[in-house]
Amino acid sequence: MSQRTSVIAGNWKMNKTTSDARIYVEELIGLVAGKEGVEIILCPPFTCLAEVNAMLEGTDVRVSAQNMHFEELGAYTGEISAGMLTDIGVTDVILGHSERREHFCEDDESLAKKVPAAIDAGIRPILCVGESDEEREAGSTETKLERQLTQDLAGISGGQLAGIIVAYEPIWAIGTGKTATPQIAQEACAFIRKTLAGEFTPAAAAQVRILYGGSVKPGNITELMVEEDIDGALVGGACLTASDFARIVDFGR
Ligand code: PGA
């Protein structure tokens, strides 16, 4: 663990109605009240963002969307802009999650526009990068990470880098129960920091929070968090129960 403030983010993906969200958030607030030394982020679906944000008023828990469009407005049926998100109090946005890259044709070209569009609107991007099973076996993990980082962050300056969060999410570990070992996760996160130092400056790269994501649970968060370049976790399945998520927050501090 480093001097950087830890971040524990819970990605609900396409789960929970507004009434489910109310029950969850009420329980979570009670469980995480007063916990210091960790930044907590909830990433509900679009339909729950306003409600969750209203319930979290007066707490330090941040609210993140799971995607956004890079244009401010216009004829983009089904899309949501950064301005629409800030309008309802959203502070962060997950960009480039592998499920969006895989199922919704999200590419590095659009991410290169989304990252600066989010920053310009005052929203902090949580940029996800990671390799597939085949890419790891072929020895091309670093090439993939380097390509995603350089292309997706092409539109931002060194000064803006410190304000983003990067999540290393190996695709083979997402929703599979197959967590990366702390050593594998650390190696990849250290490589990400080194790449950012080369593309921007070592000082800016040293400030970036790098999260690990992929089958994080209360039982494996501690061993991941002791690693030097892992500053937190992006949690999917295990965040859907408030008590499990609160335990991850506890161990992730
Ligand atoms: P998981 O998902 O924790 O269910 O593996 C992580 C993610 O997709 O961010």
Which CATH number goes with the domain that contains 111? 3.20.20.70
179 domain residue, yes or no: yes
Number of domains in the chain: 1
Q: How confident is the model at residue 2 (pLDDT cuts 50, 70, 90)?
A: low
pLDDT tens per residue across span 185-217: 999 999 999 999 999 999 999 999 999 999 999
The whole domain housing 180 covers: 6-249
pLDDT tens per residue across span 16-66: 999 999 999 999 999 998 888 999 999 999 999 999 999 999 999 999 999
Q: How confident is the model at residue 246 (pLDDT cuts 50, 70, 90)?
A: very high
Interatomic CA distance for residues 102 and 96, integer angstroms: 10
Q: What percent of the chain has pLDDT above 90?
A: 94
Indicate which atom in ligand 1 lies nearest the CA of residue 13.
Answer: 8
* Among 152, 178, 177, 175, CA closest to 165: 152
Residues 6+ apart with CB under 8 A from 86: 121, 122, 123
106 domain residue, yes or no: yes
* Among 107, 227, 108, CA closest to 179: 227
Query: What residue has token string 């999410």?
Result: 169
DSSP state of 69: B
Ligand 1 centre to CA of 12 (Å) is 9
Q: What is the model's pLDDT at position 253?
A: 76
34 domain residue, yes or no: yes
- Residues noted as catalytic: 97, 169
Ligand 1 centre to CA of 109 (Å) is 24
Shortest-distance Cα residue to atom 2 of ligand 1: 236
Within 6 A (CB) of ligand 1 lie 11, 169, 174-175, 213-216, 234-238
1 pLDDT above the threshold of 70? no
248 pLDDT above the threshold of 90? yes
89 domain residue, yes or no: yes
Q: Other CB atoms closer than 10 Å to residue 39's CB: what's the count?
A: 18
4 pLDDT above the threshold of 90? yes
192 domain residue, yes or no: yes
* Among 83, 118, 94, CA closest to 41: 94
Residue 63 φ then ψ, to 5°: -120, 130
1 domain residue, yes or no: no
